[in-house]
Amino acid sequence: MIRAKKVLTAVALTTALGLAAACAGPSPEAPGTAAELRMTVWTSNEAQLKLLTSIGDAYRADHPEVSKITFESLPFADYNTTLTTQIAGGNAPDLAWMGDLSKDLIASDALVGLTDKLKATDGWQYDDLLGSVTAEFSRDGTLYAYPFSNSPFALYVNTDLLAKAGQKVNPATLTWDQVAAAGAAVHAKTGKAGFVIRDFDYKSWNTLATVWTGWGAAAWSADGKTCTFASPEMEQAFTFLHDAAFKTKAMPGPGTTADFFAGDAAFTIAQVSRASLLTGSFKFGLYALPTGPAGKYAVLGQAGVGVLASSKHQDQAKDFLVYLTNPVNAEKLAQFFPPPRKSLLTGAKLAANNKVLNATQLQTAVVDQLPNAVTLPNHTSPAEIAQKGKTALDAMWRADADIPAVLRSVCTAIEPILAK
């Protein structure tokens, strides 16, 4: 349902698409006037906006050539379509946060390369960046967006609910099979849900990468050209999920809502940042993802900030980005977003500003995970791949599904888009 609403509002925004070309006459700035910068973000959190504004103010104090820096907060659900609309309509921001839109933006040369400038800036310490988190926003060795948020997926446990069902888990050695067994027991005993892959909802299948990576599977090859959905590893992973949904009932079936943070489920897989949704109404644990047949693994969701090529103040925008992400400011941002800098990644440093999670939790669930983490599947044309894949995968969510055949049909559906 959430996606559906997203779609509804999206109509709007992208409609703008059409808009673009003809009417997008750039209004020339009078020479000599100070630049006004605009950066789109999807947070509407006051503390986060306040921090951004204060960094902007500090920058302007030293840079009279920039007269104003606006942080424009767009609704999360419509972020991609709104941003696309603005770009298409000739009204692009100078800087922008980006999630899965990054590949499309990089591929169409809509972003400005950052590496040279960052490396050339004294004290910025480019080598401090973790390799595993920059890959997503790079092309041919050039970084196009600074990965300011790198939030690994973690296992949240409702220990109250487990205790109620007489279940106990050992997080250190926890496997997916144990999670499924405990989840099934909770469901049988209490009627509440076992484990929930947050935001999956039998629609957003890319979130299932938090599971299938544990089986050693991947959606497509590293170069993004070949579909690997039909691999034996993927088949085993989906067999596990299918059993959980239809045989053991460890995972709520399609069409059933269960919100872990409202106390409706024993386990959930969600990003560490979602810990802010915990209300304290039950006791919880936060651990690294369970072990799969392929061993230990980690998955993360990322957000980057980049400079749009269409910006009329590219140089000033780039310069501000360098300032916004320098070691000092990166540390400030780290109180909200898991940072990409090795120097900042310790449990103790992260815990200093975190009200919900302690140093141990952050060390095991964030710091230890990042170096080897893979990102959620991402590709150019994300919306089209998501829709075609979803349509094919719908056949999976029936009790009598032919799992290998469905997975092959996913490849048939998305291969033409991968090849584009």
Partner 1 sequence: MTTTTQPPEQVVVPAAAKARRASGPSFWTTRRRDVLTGYLFILPQLAGVAVFVLLPVGMAIWYSLNDWNVFTGKQTFVGGENYAALADDPQLPKVLLATVIFSGGVVVVNITLGLLIAVLLNRRFRGVTLFRTLFFSPVVVSVVAWTLVWGFLLQDNGGINGLLGAVGIDGPNWLQHGDTAMVSVVITQVIRSVGVNMVLFLAALQGVPEELYEAARIDGASSRSVFARITLPLISPTLLLTVIVTVVGALQSFAQIAVLTGGGPELSTTVLVYYVFQQAFEFNDIGYGSTLALMLLSFVMLLTLLQWQLRRKWVFYED
Partner 2 sequence: MRTDARTSSAVAVPRRVRRALLVIALAVLAVPFVVPTIWMVAASVKPLAEIFDAPPSLWTDSPTLSAYAEAFTFQPFARQYVNSVYIAVVVTAITLLVSSLAGYAFARIRFPGANALFLVVLTGLLVPSEVTIVPLFQLFKRAGLINTHWPLILVTSLAAPCVLATFIMRQFFIALPLELEEAARLDGLGRPAIWMRICLPLAKPALSAVAILTFLASWNLYLEPTVYLTSPEMFTLPQALTRFTDAYGGQMWNTQLAAATMTVLPMLIVFVLAQRHFVEGLAHSGLK
- List residues near partner 1 by CB under 8 A: 1, 3-5, 7-8, 10-11, 13-15, 17-18, 20-21, 24, 81, 84, 87-88, 90, 104-105, 108-110, 202-203, 253-257, 381, 383-384, 387, 390-392, 394-395, 397-398
Residue 11 vs 163, nearer CB to partner 2: 11
What's the CA gap between 214 and 77, in Å, rounded? 29
* DSSP three-state, residue 186: helix
What's the CA gap between 350 and 331, in Å, rounded? 9
Nearest to 217, CA basis, from 300, 287, 150, 293 = 293
Kindly list the residues in this chain that would bind partner 2 in the complex (CB under 8 A): 1-2, 5-6, 8-9, 11-13, 15-19, 22-23, 42-45, 75-77, 82, 89, 257, 259, 262-264, 273-274, 277, 281
For residue 334, the minimal CB distance to partner 2 (Å) is 17
Single-letter amino acid code for the residue at 16:
A
Residue 87 vs 196, nearer CB to partner 1: 87
Residue 99 vs 293, nearer CB to partner 1: 99
Token pair 């959606």 is found at 219
Question: Around 175, how many Cα atoms within 13 Å sit in the side-chain half-sphere?
Answer: 9
User: Choosing among partner 2, partner 1, none, which partner's interface includes residue 262 (Cβ < 5 to 8 Å by kind)?
Assistant: partner 2
Residue 149 vs 363, nearer CB to partner 2: 149
User: Choosing among partner 2, partner 1, none, which partner's interface includes residue 45 (Cβ < 5 to 8 Å by kind)?
Assistant: partner 2
How big is the chain, counted in residues?
420
Phi, psi at 193, each rounded to 5°: -80, 155
User: Choosing among partner 2, partner 1, none, which partner's interface includes residue 395 (Cβ < 5 to 8 Å by kind)?
Assistant: partner 1
Residue 126 vs 202, nearer CB to partner 2: 202
Residue 17 vs 344, nearer CB to partner 2: 17
User: Choosing among partner 1, partner 2, none, which partner's interface includes residue 7 (Cβ < 5 to 8 Å by kind)?
Assistant: partner 1
User: Choosing among partner 1, partner 2, none, which partner's interface includes residue 244 (Cβ < 5 to 8 Å by kind)?
Assistant: none
Name 85's Cβ contacts closer than 8 Å, sequence gap at least 6: 13, 14, 15, 16, 17, 19
For residue 362, the minimal CB distance to partner 1 (Å) is 35
Which structure tokens are listed for 132? 């595993």
User: Choosing among partner 2, partner 1, none, which partner's interface includes residue 44 (Cβ < 5 to 8 Å by kind)?
Assistant: partner 2
Residue 80 vs 291, nearer CB to partner 2: 80
For residue 199, the minimal CB distance to partner 1 (Å) is 14
Which structure tokens are listed for 414? 């998305």
User: Choosing among partner 2, partner 1, none, which partner's interface includes residue 387 (Cβ < 5 to 8 Å by kind)?
Assistant: partner 1
Question: Around 344, how many Cα atoms within 13 Å sit in the side-chain half-sphere?
Answer: 28
Q: What is the DSSP string of 275-335?
A: GGG--SSS-EEEEPPPBBTTB---EEEEEEEEEBTT-TTHHHHHHHHHHHTSHHHHHHHTT
